[in-house]
């Protein structure tokens, strides 16, 4: 499939609220760090940015069907995901956290013995959950339009005792009076942009070059500090 002559950069992503990474306002405009990274890269590639919304479970099939040119949406680079797409150098690095109900006695991995711990299936978050000795992992497939919301609902309903996600996504949720971050694990997971394995030779390199220019000229750092001023810029 050819991306070299296209005028639009079609970015596959999820249409769910996950500030400060991404969300849409009442006018349908996408905001957040990842949204602005997509626009920044589109500009450096000489294109207009278009967001292609898909459920989490449909990301890689959408790439393979040529519904989008790249996937930029919370993809920690894992060995499993490398079998689904080819990845750029990282545009973000995050730790992971465990969310519980406020007042929970869960404060460490040792407190998760016998507890039900949710995470998105086949994610780095699930890989971390599987390291918590004695817990019962509960995978969320991501085939709905709001997998984060699904995990929060399950936690509030008592269907899970905790769930794992990246710290950047959970910090805003911790402002809810009934939710709390139990602990953070310093995993420093690298997030990358994925392209289809069927893409033209050179397309991945073109995105990597645009990303490298954004790092070199300080524009990526400016977006990081705009949206996530409390987190250290990792590059």
What is the pLDDT tens value at each position of the chain, 235 positions in all? 445 557 999 999 999 999 999 999 999 999 999 999 999 999 999 999 999 999 999 999 999 999 999 999 999 999 999 999 999 999 999 999 999 999 999 999 999 999 999 999 999 999 999 999 999 999 999 899 899 999 999 999 999 999 999 999 998 898 999 999 999 999 999 999 999 999 998 999 999 999 999 999 999 999 999 999 989 999 9
Return the structure tokens found at 12.
Answer: 């596959």
Q: CA-CA distances (angstroms) from residue 43 to 29, 48, 91, 203?
A: 17, 7, 16, 16
For the 8-91+192-227 domain, the top CATH level (class) is alpha beta
Residues carrying CATH 3.40.190.10, the chain: 8-91+192-227, 95-188
pTM: 0.88
Fold of 95-188: D-Maltodextrin-Binding Protein; domain 2 (3.40.190)
Burial (CB count <10 Å: 0-12, 13-18, 19+), residue 102: exposed
Q: What is the sign of the dihedral through the CA atoms of 32, 33, 39 and 40?
A: positive
Please count the CA atoms within 13 angstroms of the CA of 193 that sit on its side-chain side.
Answer: 27
Task: Supply the angle between the helices 203-216 and 219-227 in degrees, to the nearest 10.
Answer: 70
């Amino acid at each position: 499939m050819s991306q070299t002559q296209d005028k639009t950069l079609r970015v596959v992503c999820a249409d769910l609220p996950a500030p400060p990474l991404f969300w849409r306002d009442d006018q349908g405009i996408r905001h957040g760090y990842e949204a602005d990274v997509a626009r920044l890269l589109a500009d450096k590639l000489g294109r207009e940015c278009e967001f292609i919304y898909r459920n989490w479970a449909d990301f890689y099939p959408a790439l393979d069907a040529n519904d989008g040119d790249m996937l930029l949406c919370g993809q920690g680079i894992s060995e499993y995901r490398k079998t689904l797409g080819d990845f750029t150098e990282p545009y973000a690095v995050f730790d992971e956290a465990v969310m519980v109900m406020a007042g929970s006695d869960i404060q460490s991995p040792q407190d998760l013995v016998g507890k039900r711990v949710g995470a998105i299936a086949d994610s780095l978050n699930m890989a971390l959950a599987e390291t918590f000795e004695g817990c019962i992992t509960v995978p969320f497939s991501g085939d709905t339009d709001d997998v984060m919301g699904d995990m929060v609902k399950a936690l509030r309903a008592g269907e899970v005792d905790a769930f794992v996600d990246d710290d950047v996504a959970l910090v805003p949720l911790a402002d809810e009076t009934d939710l709390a971050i139990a602990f953070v694990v310093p995993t420093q997971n690298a997030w990358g942009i994925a392209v289809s394995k069927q893409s033209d030779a050179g397309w991945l390199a073109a995105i990597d070059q645009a990303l490298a220019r954004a790092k070199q000229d300080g524009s990526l750092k400016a977006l990081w500090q705009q949206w996530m001023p409390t987190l250290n810029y990792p590059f």
